[in-house]
Structure formats: structure tokens, C-alpha cells
Amino acid sequence: MRVISRISEHGVDVYDTALELVHTFPAEQVQAYAVASARDRLAYATEEFVSCVDTGGGELWRFEVGAGDGYARADLAFSTDDRSLFLYLPNVQAGRGGEDLWMVLDAATGTPLARHGLPTSGHGGSHHPLGDDRMLLDVGEGQDGTWCFVATPDGPVARLDEWSNRVPVDVSPDQRLIMTVDHEQEDVAFHDVSDFAEVLRVPLSAFGDWEFGEAGVEWAGGFLTAETAIVVVSGEGEETGEMWWKHFTVDTSSGSVTGEMGISTIDEYDMSPLGDGTYVITDTDGSLRRM
């Protein structure tokens, strides 16, 4: 099951499956972070450096990236075996000069193993381990859309041109499917992990009597199980002007919408499906609740 964690005022809190706090990694000015699968290390990025710390807060290594603008946010993720750390640096928008970089660091030492220039001007990125040696990177360019790339720790980078303006959301727990949402939020689709080919697509209209502009599919949700995905649809009340959002379940084999979940969350992104039939949300008192 996925590691459950969140940023707190003291750093990054890490929980066990019963949502008992295991420990808090001390970290400040965190732009992005990743917890090793054994919960024994935290890697996090700030505007100026990437640091890896142990459970006692001891710094294992530090990798300097240079001062940048916090408007553009780095992202990082451990490889599936925790031996490598993938790091995306939005250098163009961060004002560091040069080009956006996708790097691979040795997770034990912080030593650079690979360095790839990207043809992007990203505001941020997100990583998705694919369950084998491959890592998927989504680079968001704001209104200009999004680009996706895939690489292994020691291999070249491939750009997924067929995924122009698709935003990856989640990988299924059996590592068979990838869920993506159209950048314009008009549909959700599911793709084969092996070759990224589209398996099925579900339009916004399947979730209710809405037209594009009245509502949209959020870049949120994910796999509740290998057979069921959670899709979030949001919109703005015509009379009140207030935002609303609803959670729907979708059968990933047929694409049929199987129901509305009828749950309340603090915002449209406050839900983390764990892939085992449960999910985590924030309770009214600020604590986490697994449901």
C-alpha cells in the first residue's frame, strides 16, 4: 500500500496503515517531497537545494540547485526500488537560466547519475512510478498545456507526443493502467502502462447533464482498486457562484459510471485513494481519516 504522509508545521508527518503517526521528518520550505517505501528516509526540495534526511532529522546528503523563484516548483520521486531519486527542475520559470532539467540522483549519496534537458518551460511537474524501472513525468506549462516524458534511471528520455495536453493522475495498484484527465477537463481516460495506448475514455457528459464550461473533470481522484477509479467533477453554482465538487466511481474495464460516492471533503483535491478499496481524507478537526 502507498505511504501515507502530509506536510505539517513541523515537517512531513508519516503514518502507518492505521493512521498512527510513525514519525515526523523535520523539513522547512518544502516545495515537494518523497518518502522512501521503508519510511526511513525523506527527500525534499526547496527553492535552492534538495536534501535527504533520516528519521532523526540527520541530513544524509544535500544537492544544491541554485536560488530560484518559488512560483515554479520542483518535484521528485523515489524509483520503485528506492535506489534512485528522480528530480524535475523548472529552471526556465524559476529564473535559474538554461533549460528545464530532469535528473536522476543516487538516492544513497545524492550523486547525479543522469541529466536530461527538456524542451519545456514548466511551472511544475509530477512524477508517477510505473512499477518497473520506468518513471513518468508530467510537466505543466499553465495555460500552454502539459507534456509527458518517460525514462529509466540509466536510459534516454522519451516524450509522449500522443499524450499532448493529458494530465496523468494515478497508476492502478496492479500497475496495468494509467488514469489521465484532459488538460481542458473535458474527459477522463485510461491507458495501458506498457505502451501508453488508450484503453477507454469517459466524457464529462457521462457524469451528469453538464456541458463543458458548466463543469469539468478535475485533475484529481485515482484508483480505489484496480477495477474502480474515483473521478472528481467540479463546477460553480450558477446562482451562488460557489464551487462544488462530486466524487464518482468508474468501472475501469467498461468505462461505465457506477455511482456518486456522496462524501464531503475540504476541497476537490482532498482525497487520496490507496488502491486497496480505501481512501484518506481530512476530517473536520484537521486529522486524517481513512475510509
DSSP string, the chain: -PPEEEEETTEEEEE-TT--EEEEEE-SS-SEEEE-TTSSEEEEE-SSEEEEEETT--EEEEEE-----TTS--EEEE-TTSSEEEEEE-HHHHT--S-EEEEEEETTT--EEEEEEES---SEEEEEE-SSS-EEEEEE-GGG-EEEEEE-TTS--EE-GGGTTEEEEEE-TTS-EEEEEETTSSEEEEEETTT--EEEEEEGGGGSS--BTTEEE-S--EESSSSEEEEEEEEE-TTT--EEEEEEEEETTT--EEEE-----SSTT--EE-SSS-EEEE-TTS-EEE-
pLDDT digits (tens, 9 = 90+) for 154-195: 989 999 998 888 999 999 999 999 999 999 999 999 999 999
Q: What is the identity of the amino acid at 130? A: L
Within the chain, where are the H helices? 91-94
Q: What is the pLDDT of residue 288?
A: 92
Which pLDDT score is estimated for 251? 98
What's the fold here for domain 1-164? Methylamine Dehydrogenase; Chain H (2.130.10)
What's the chain's average pLDDT? 94
- Assign 264 a pLDDT band (cuts: 50, 70, 90): very high
pLDDT, residue 212, reads: 67
pLDDT surpasses 90 at 211: no
Rounded CA gap, 231 and 170, in Å? 11
End-to-end CA distance of the chain: 14
d(CA 34, CA 46): 13
Summarised one tens digit per residue, pLDDT across range 236-245 is 877 677 899 9
DSSP state of 4: E
- pLDDT in the model for residue 242: 85
Average pLDDT of the segment spanning 47-56: 94
pLDDT of residue 69: 82
Q: How many CB atoms lie within 10 A of CB 235?
A: 17
- The boundaries of every CATH 2.120.10.30 domain in the chain are 169-291
Residue 267: Cβ within 10 Å count: 13
Q: Which of these ranges, 29-33, 47-51, 142-146, 217-221, has the smallest mean pLDDT?
A: 142-146
The amino acid sitting at 210 is: W
Candidates 194, 242, 248; CA nearest to 218 is 248
Q: Indicate whether 71 pLDDT > 80.
A: yes
CATH of the structural domain 169-291, one choice from 2.60.40.10, 2.120.10.30, 2.40.50.140, 3.40.640.10 = 2.120.10.30
- What's the mean pLDDT in 209-231? 92
Domain with CATH 2.130.10.10 in the chain: 1-164
Share of the chain above pLDDT 90, in %: 84
| Distance from C-alpha of 250 to C-alpha of 203, rounded to nearest angstrom | 12
State the CB neighbour count (10 A cutoff) for residue 51. Answer: 20
User: Would strands 124-129 and 49-54 be described as parallel, antiparallel, or unpaired?
Assistant: unpaired
Q: What is the DSSP letter of 3?
A: P
